[in-house]
Amino acid sequence: MARLVGIDLPNKHIDIALTYIYGIGHSTAEEICKKAKLDKHRMINDLSQEELNELRKIIEADYKVEGRLRTEIALNIKRLMDIGCYRGLRHRKGLPLRGQRTRTNARTRKGKKKTVAGKKK
């Protein structure tokens, strides 16, 4: 198993395996393969140590992934909550942020239904 930026990558095609890293999607993975001049259809376990080091260098130099990205996102959300803007208030209350309806649906954000006591069925 190859290990990049603290993640054990499965033995799959390079472009698919790179998507296991938080912050790297399919198009970014293909872009990394082009920069490293590697065929995206090769398997991760077929790569030499030099090729893995090249991938590691490209990812660390050009992309914000894993811990740094998670930290930045958490700080952005905290900043929104601190300044008290609409999105920050919605984060604080655990409601949808981007204009979705909440009369029905929104169960993932709102959590389990809270029933009113004494209400007849």
Output the domain CATH number for residue 41. Answer: 1.10.8.50
Distance CA 7, CA 5 (A): 6
Q: Which residue has the tokens 């930026």?
A: 5
Residue 115 located in a structural domain: no
Cα radius of gyration rounded to whole Å, the chain? 21
User: For residues 92 and 73, is the Cβ–Cβ distance under 8 A?
Assistant: no
68: CB partners within 8 A, 6+ apart: none
Domain range for 11 is 2-66
Same domain, yes or no, for 17 and 53? yes
**CATH at 97:** 4.10.910.10
Same domain, yes or no, for 12 and 42? yes
Average pLDDT over residues 78-87: 94
This prediction's pTM:
0.75
Both tokens assigned to 64: 């914000």
Residue 47 located in a structural domain: yes
- The domain tally of the chain equals 2
- Write the pLDDT tens digit of every residue in 2-49: 888 888 889 999 989 999 999 999 999 999 999 989 888 989 988 889
Distance CA 119, CA 121 (A): 7
Average pLDDT, the chain: 89
User: For residues 81 and 91, is the Cβ–Cβ distance under 8 A?
Assistant: yes
Residue 119 binned pLDDT confidence (cut-offs 50, 70, 90)? low
Residue 121 binned pLDDT confidence (cut-offs 50, 70, 90)? low
